[in-house]
Amino acid sequence: MAERKAFLLRVDPRLLEALQRWADDDLRSLNGQIEYLLRRALAGSGRGPAGGGESLPPTGQGGK
């Protein structure tokens, strides 16, 4: 498994609450939901790691 890095993210509390509700609906942790959304955005824009040629490893997606 690839090394994971932690970083601080400042976000509006209302946005965080909405993300938490979405994560709960998708049976993911809040961190997992944010990572899932970032991966989806990168894939959709063709901007994955190393210029977009590599696919990103999957994350835990709960019941999905």
Q: How confident is the model at residue 50 (pLDDT cuts 50, 70, 90)?
A: low
Distance of alpha carbon 24 from alpha carbon 62, whole angstroms: 10
**Is the Cβ–Cβ distance between 15 and 30 less than 8 Å?**
no
pLDDT category, 52, cuts 50, 70, 90? very low
Instruction: Give the pLDDT band (50/70/90) at residue 53.
Output: very low
The residues spanned by each domain of the chain are: 13-43
> In angstroms, what is the C-alpha Rg of the chain?
13
pLDDT given at position 62: 56
Report d(CA 54, CA 45) in Å as an integer.
Answer: 13
Question: Is the per-residue pLDDT at 49 higher than 70?
Answer: yes
What is the length of the chain? Answer: 64
How distant, in Å, are the alpha carbons of 3, 7, 41, 61, 64 from that of 14? 30, 20, 21, 23, 25
Please give the model's pTM, rounded to 2 decimal places: 0.71
